[in-house]
Amino acid sequence: MFKTVALVGVTGAVGRLMRQLLEERPLAAETFRFLASARSAGKTLTFRGREYAVEPLTKESFQGVDLVLASTPDEVAAEYLPAAVEAGATVIDESGYFRMREGVPLVVPEVNPEAADIDRGIISSPNCSTTQMVLALKPLHDAARVRRVIVSTYQAVSGMGVQGTQELEESTAARLRGEEYRHAAFAHPIAFNCIPQIGREKEAGYTSEEMKMVYETRKILGDPSIQVCPTCVRIPVANCHSESIVVETERPVSPADARSLFEAFPGIKVVDDLPGGVYPMPNTCTGSDLVFVGRIREDISRPGGLSFWCVSDNLRKGAATNAVQIAELLARRRFGAK
């Protein structure tokens, strides 16, 4: 088993869920430690029946730690996580900072588990909108080689962390009371709105969130020739990202074949009955660790093309669950854990 597992960013939206998942799942360690910013230092939390104080993160925090699960803003990851590696730990990082670095594995356990085979260093967990898409693309890619993807996302406010959720709730209530609300988490009011910008302008008129979907997809699927055209949109939904995905493959995939491929792949659940009004939606997918796929149909604008709808809990499979699954993968490899 691991000696000491440290959760960094434990007070955040992803960190809280990581702690909850580690309560529910059997990852074994002699000791757990919980870290966040100096703002949270000293707060107490209960974990597996014991009380712990949240510790402030410093570069000296990692002595004796062999596994770190980190979910902090990029700049915090950049400043502190190299010290964890220096101290001998393996770090599973939720931030975007290290993902595209040469030599840093970017891992979705159902898709590229072999990439996580390192003794120490940083393993990145992908951006939430990428994770659910690559998981859905993987069986299609294996069967028919994905050549081009056009994806439009409908992303929940919890993707912006605790502050995003708070802003949706408060601004919606303020709007219903007819009051002004000073928004801070998003560039525009999110209540009763949708915002076609996530992240900053990056290149060629695309945002940083959109370019993450391009580069991370290629890295995880190990195919730099895959073309991705993304549009990322923030919508006033509390939790779960939804995506409309159109795929061109080298060999045609019929909707029936796609359905069979999705059904056979671990981590995907097909929910698809248009006449019955049954398809994945944020309200029905929240709280699940799976990636849900529905509305599977032919792209009628292009023979052999495929179109589908994909929903997943961005805080779970898009973040905390994926990180914990990577930790479990390491535990199986290193200690033969179940």
d(CA 133, CA 318): 10
Q: Which of 76, 185, 198, 285 binds ligand NAP (CB under 6 A)?
A: 76
Residue whose CB is less far from ligand NAP, 159 or 280: 159
Which one of 5, 9, 228, 280 is in contact with ligand NAP (CB under 6 A)?
Answer: 9
Task: Classify residue 64 as left (phi > 0), alpha (psi -120 to 50) or beta.
Answer: left
For residue 241, indicate whether it is catalytic: yes
Shortest approach of ligand NAP to residue 298 CB, angstroms?
A: 32
Query: Considering the rule CB under 6 A, would residue 72 count as an interface residue with ligand NAP?
Result: yes
Among 15, 109, 230, 305, binds ligand NAP (CB under 6 A): 15
Binds ligand NAP (CB under 6 A): choice among 73, 82, 113, 189: 73
Closest CA to 153 of 239, 243, 228: 243
Q: Check binding of 13 to ligand NAP (CB under 6 A).
A: yes
Stretch near ligand NAP under the rule CB under 6 A, chosen from 94-102, 139-147, 274-282, 284-292: 94-102
For 54, phi then psi, to 5°, come to: -70, 130
Burial grade of 203 (CB within 10 A; 0-12, 13-18, 19 or more): exposed
- Choose, from 232, 241, 285, 310, the residue flagged as catalytic: 241
Closest to ligand NAP by CB, 54 or 144: 54
Q: Of 252, 320, 317, which is closest to residue 291 (Cα–Cα)?
A: 317
The C-alpha R_g of the chain, in whole angstroms, comes to: 20
Positions in 143-202 near ligand NAP (CB under 6 A): 158-159, 161-163
Binding mask 306-325 for ligand NAP (x = CB under 6 A): --------xx--xx------
Closer to ligand NAP by CB, 40 or 90: give it. 40
Residue among 242, 208, 249, 214 nearest 228 (CA): 214
Residue 286 interacts with ligand NAP (CB under 6 A)?
no
* Cα–Cα distance measured from residue 197 to residue 201, given in angstroms and rounded to the nearest whole number: 8
Tokens 């061109």 found at: 248
Q: Go through 220-231 and write b for each residue having 16 or more CB atoms within 10 A of its CB, e for each that does not.
A: bbeeeebebebb
Nearer residue to ligand NAP within complex by CB, 96 or 105: 96
| Pick 202 or 297: Cβ nearer ligand NAP | 202
Distance CA(130)–CA(153), nearest Å, equals 10
Q: Is 310 a catalytic residue?
A: no
Among 128, 214, 253, 306, binds ligand NAP (CB under 6 A): 128
Q: Which residue has the tokens 């730099």?
A: 224
Q: Rounded to the nearest whole angstrom, what is the least distance from the CB of residue 239 to ligand NAP in the complex?
A: 8
Confirm if 236 and 242 have CB atoms less than 8 A apart.
no
CA dist 5 and 27 (Å) reads 10
Would you count residue 14 as binding ligand NAP (CB under 6 A)? Answer: yes
Of 25, 39, 251, 302, the one binding ligand NAP (CB under 6 A) is: 39
Examine residue 12 and tell whether it contacts ligand NAP (CB under 6 A).
yes
Pick one of 29, 40, 132, 312: the residue that binds ligand NAP (CB under 6 A).
40
Kindly tell me which residue out of 5, 27, 36, 137 binds ligand NAP, with binding defined by CB under 6 A: 36
Answer yes or no: are the C-beta atoms of 253 and 140 closer than 8 Å: yes
**C-alpha distances in Å from residue 221, one per residue of 52, 111, 132, 232, 330:** 40, 8, 13, 20, 20
What is the binding site for ligand NAP (CB under 6 A)?
A: 9-15, 36-37, 39-40, 57, 71-74, 76, 94-96, 128, 158-159, 161-163, 314-315, 318-319
> Which residues are catalytic, by number?
128, 241
